[in-house]
Amino acid sequence: MKKLLTLIIVALISFVATAQGPVVWDGTTAIDFGTQLPNAGENESNPILISTPQQLRYLASLVANSSVATADAWKGKCYKMTADFDLDNRAFSAGRIGAAAGNSNTYHTQAASRPFTGVFDGNGHTIANLNIQGTGSFLALFPYLSGGTVKNLGIISGKVSGANQISALVGVSNGVSRIINCYSRCTVEATGLNVGAIAACIHGNTTVDGCYNEGRVICTNTSVSYVGGLVGQAGHVGNTLAVDDATTIKNSYNKGVVSSINGNLGGLVGFAENLTISDCFNAADTLIVNQTQTGNVYIGGIIGRMQRNQTMERCFNIGLITTTADETRSTILGGITADAELKDLTNDVVMINDCYNAGPIIAPVGTLKTFAGIAGVTRTAILNNCINYGSIYAGGEYESYRSGGITANYSSDSYTGGPTIVNDSYYDINYVINFTDSVNGEAVTTQELVNKMPANFDNTVWTASGNLLPRLTKMKDNSASIVGATPIYFSENENYSNVSSPIQLETGNSVVWTSSNPDLLSISGSNATPNSTEPNKLVYLTVNLNNYKKIIPLTLDVSTGKKDVFDNENSQISIFPNPGTHINVVLKNNDNLEYNFTFYDLQGRVLDQIVKTGTSFTFDLSNYPTGTIILNIRNEHLNAYKRIIKI
């Protein structure tokens, strides 16, 4: 009877906590676990139930206890949350579950380190308003995970900030550890090395599976740093591998903005050695480096820099990859990775298999830039079955140092594993111009890719259907995949760097197209029509679906319609006096119809829009700037442009 009563009490606590919504922390200190089942915590089927933030604090006081005996007594225990917690933005540094001391390579040897070694099951619950901020290192909800598991937990808001090894969830993980089905929408900020939303560093036999980030990840370190949307640094670092070094990331994605001043920056991982990553994608709005150091900085859609024994499979990027660095800074950018290199081990291999990039790579300032659709720089790497649909954008402002559709490859005598090999890989020629590399795969057109499986691609891995570009089968129905594979079609002899004619848009799958400047590039149905009066106008065309987006930068030339009007006067339209301040517009041989009159300056800015009906019209230009003005006259029967000189 006593055991039954205990079961009822525990079940009632769980039900009440869940039914009442988030349990808000009042800032009080730790409170013990209260009534639990006999032998609770010994296994996952009988965990210690955590029902309040105070009990979470209590768990932290046990795991991170300065007494080794106390901390050891709670090693390997299993815990489960029974409610959502709201920490009310109160300082929660003392609530960190575990402790790490030393630096990123010596934490496991420090006497003061207290790893979490058990199983923490969030049970699908969330923690809101997490506030862990300081100037030290290893700041995270779990500073040090060693042979432990954290699963089914979401950090939905808050901020974690510090120096090194900073994360919303896990600071450092090693041993046979697992981080499963977790996510973060928290802001994570570091001033030093290693920052990621899910984990700052993962080593050993750590697995990250089914995790994602939607929060901002920021690093302000002015020296080298490792910054990733999910993980800052992944895999064993160094030449000697331990037996259990099998670090893995799979079935995960990043949607949060990742930014840094310097270092190695990736949509998912900043820097990786000896890592296997598969079935992942990046959809971050921006990847930005405001670079100050003069040495190489690496920016990649999935991984910033990948070295030594490493495999990436079935990953894609749709996020924008960009830098604001000036011409004195050396920056390497790649749609999947900036750098894939064997380093100096002759028996290992770096492989990228079945990956594609659909995100733009933009570096508007500088000359020491290396661009490529898949890997910016490769040294003794193997790339199989990869595709690039992303535009490599220079905007006419400079020439890149190196560029390539697949890789901007170069070799060095110090890398003895052999040359880079690119097998059965393709890039859309409409988005890559003036490339400097010959190891690029095959150039194809958009029309040659839509609904078509490239040669030697596995049709169980790839899907080519739905009027879309080829995409990965396992993720073919998610919104990011559809957005990335949605094509546009340029007119003959035009590409993204030279647009003067209408562009055909694919509008299936409920996607929505927008223009960054509708006056310069207007969208109607399945057409985007340029209306530029000057060359070299930059406009961003964006396709959206369920808050996922792909950006396509376009350089507009003077639009075809405007060229025709300016070169061949339309005899049906008379404007007088021209030059003038008050003008008359007469439309000859036209019925009494409604017309839209739009006045532009030479920068494409709209000065005025007026709707009138008739055949003869008068306009007062006295409020317009002096000089050349473009008048667009449009209805369903007419679309003409006239040049007016306002005096």
- State the pLDDT confidence band at 512, using cuts at 50, 70 and 90: very high
Of the candidates 269, 260, 190, the residue with the CA atom closest to the CA atom of residue 228: 269
Q: Is the pLDDT of residue 185 over 90?
A: yes
- What's the confidence (pLDDT) of residue 494? 84
User: Is-same-fold flag (486-567; 569-646)?
Assistant: yes
Please give the DSSP secondary-structure letter assigned to residue 53. Answer: H
pLDDT at 10 exceeding the cut of 50: no
Cα–Cα distances (Å) from 21 to 18, 25, 55, 496, in that order, read 6, 13, 17, 51
Amino acid at the residue 630: I
CB 555, CB 498: distance < 8 Å: yes
* Closest C-alpha among 373, 362, 385 to residue 338: 373
The count of other CB atoms within 10 Å of the CB of residue 411 is: 14
**Helix, strand, coil fractions of the chain, as percent rounded to 5:** 10, 40, 50
Domain boundaries, the chain: 486-567, 569-646
pLDDT of residue 410: 57
**CATH fit for domain 486-567, picks 3.30.70.100, 3.30.43.10, 2.60.40.1080, 3.10.450.50:** 2.60.40.1080
Average pLDDT over residues 627-643: 80
3-state secondary structure of 120: strand
Cis-peptide, bond into residue 579, ω within 30° of zero: yes
219 to each of 260, 317, 449, how far by Cα in Å? 5, 21, 38
The whole-number pLDDT of residue 309 equals: 80
How does residue 389 score in pLDDT terms, banded at 50, 70 and 90?
A: very high
* AA identity, residue 243: V
Considering Cα of 518, then 523, then 529, then 535, what sign does the dihedral take?
Answer: positive
* Tokens linked to 238: 């160094």
- Each residue's pLDDT tens digit, 518-566: 999 999 999 999 987 777 788 999 999 999 999 999 988 766 555 444 4
Comparing 55-59, 234-238, 342-346, which segment has the lowest mean pLDDT? 342-346
d(CA 217, CA 227): 8
Please state, in angstroms and rounded to a whole number, the distance separating the CA atoms of residues 584 and 589: 16
- Run of H or E including 406: none
pLDDT band at residue 108 using 50, 70 and 90 as cut-offs? confident
Does residue 481 have a pLDDT over 90? yes
pTM tops 0.95: no
pLDDT score of 397 more than 70: no
Mean pLDDT of the chain: 86
SS3 label, residue 59:
helix
Query: What's the pLDDT score for residue 568?
Result: 37
At 4, the pLDDT band (50, 70, 90 cuts) reads very low
Percent of the chain having pLDDT more than 90? Answer: 54
Let me know if domain 569-646 sits in CATH 3.30.465.10: no
Backbone angles phi, psi at 51, to 5 degrees: -110, -10
Give the gyration radius of the chain's Cα atoms.
29
